[in-house]
Amino acid sequence: MIEVFRNKTKYNKGQVFPFLIAIIVMIIIVAMITANLGQIGVFKTDVSNAADAGALAGASILSGALLGFGLKSELMVGEMIVTVAAMIIAICTVVGIPAAIAMGCALIVSGFVNYFQSLEEGKMAWSNAKKSAMQYAFQNAGIDEPRPTFKTFMTKVYGIMDPDSYDNANMISLYNLYYIKGDNPGASENERKKIKQYSQSGFSTFMERTDYWRWGDIKPGRMSPAIVTSGYGWDPVLGTNSNETGDTYKNYPNYVEVEVIGNVMYPLTIDFPGWRIVTAITDWITDHTGIPWWLLWLGGIGWLINMIGFLWFIIPAGLMMGTITENKIVQNTDDNPLNVTVRRYKANNDVGVWNFRYGEVESAASGHAYREKGNEDVASFFLPGLWNFIWGIITGNFDWGNIWDEMTDTEKHLFESEVTAVR
């Protein structure tokens, strides 16, 4: 037993040390791989979130615009009904006939003005959608550009080369009042610009640009291009950015590019209520009398009914809001998405032990306004309900419950928005 303990003194020391070194190296390698994968994962997630946010924001603008078209349609129908009622009352007196004609002409002019305004709104809907898609895409792209340091702020704005030697109380005051808030309302215009420039990141300035509308050639009052592209690049080491220098954003070690593709306008058309009456009368005669449609027109009855419809157009000015054509509404909503593609580039980062490999990552998403119940439209729901009410009284086929539901179906103009085709 004593011999065994004596032999232990002859053992070599430090045999565990090589294994310990190997284990530490393995732990470091695993930690770096995990950190690298985590960084890349966050990098890709930001780009994906940006595309989703942009597509959903643009689609929400489109659904809101469609709701606006429907509400305008109802207002125009109300204007038409009130004007026609006033014209009928005026026509009952000989003296009121000129007034009735004047009201009819005014309604015609109003109808055309509202129609062309709606066409402009149809263009602006897509311009606004693309602009909002770009805004939300950039804001959610995870741009990690640092803001200027307080030392840089003091040097550039107030010319204090050694802020550490400056009075501590004044330093705290400048930090809390101007550097954090980014403004000094009592300063000169030039000083306020400097404060804003050196108290926030270049990206913040980029998002506050007064010419923000001109991103990707989107301009107010004009038809936007089908494809709009914009980008922002920055160098965290040099502290420069593409917004400040005017250089191409792809020349920077970090950049985000957003591309939005979509329609240029909503095609709208004028609906003439008088022609609805003509169609309803001729269809009723054909269905209940057995007279072929060609005989109806050959016998002159169709021409007479058509003339009545023409007079309905001329005298009471049966114009209303131009609406999306029935056979194309699905094509212009459900089947007409807004496509957003976000590309972000980040140069590889060599930290000495490990090289973080980023490169360019791309993500795309599509958003659209769609008809959730399948019957949403921008055409007036009140006018067909009113016509069915009148026609039901004439024909004796009167169902007040169904007609009332049809005239008050306020959900018919509500379109939904969603994100689809994410990649």
Q: Is the pLDDT of residue 26 over 70?
A: no
Highest-pLDDT range among 59-73, 197-211, 288-302, 367-381: 59-73
In a domain, 88, yes or no: yes
- Residue 313: per-residue pLDDT: 47
In a domain, 186, yes or no: no
Highest-pLDDT range among 15-29, 65-79, 165-179: 65-79
In a domain, 54, yes or no: yes
In a domain, 131, yes or no: yes
Highest-pLDDT range among 14-18, 68-72, 356-360, 395-399: 68-72
Average pLDDT over residues 291-295: 66
In a domain, 303, yes or no: no
Q: Over pLDDT 90: what percentage of the chain? A: 14
Where is pLDDT greater, at 251 or 108?
A: 251
In a domain, 370, yes or no: yes
Where is pLDDT greater, at 307 or 92?
A: 92
Confidence of residue 212 (pLDDT cuts 50, 70, 90): low
Sign of CA pseudo-dihedral 267, 273, 276, 282: negative
Which stretch of 56-65, 166-175, 194-203, 369-378 has the lowest confidence by average pLDDT? 166-175
In a domain, 3, yes or no: no
- Residue 367: per-residue pLDDT: 93
Q: Is the pLDDT of residue 228 over 80?
A: yes
Average pLDDT over residues 45-69: 91
Q: Is the pLDDT of residue 10 over 60?
A: no
Where is pLDDT greater, at 381 or 224?
A: 224
- Residue 13: per-residue pLDDT: 58
- Structural domain total, the chain: 1
Q: Is the pLDDT of residue 417 over 80?
A: yes
| Domain assignment of residue 76, given as a range | 41-146+201-225+266-272+318-336+364-420
Mean confidence (pLDDT) of the chain: 76
The closest of 123, 141, 134 to 62, measured between CA atoms, is: 123
In a domain, 33, yes or no: no
Confidence of residue 102 (pLDDT cuts 50, 70, 90): confident
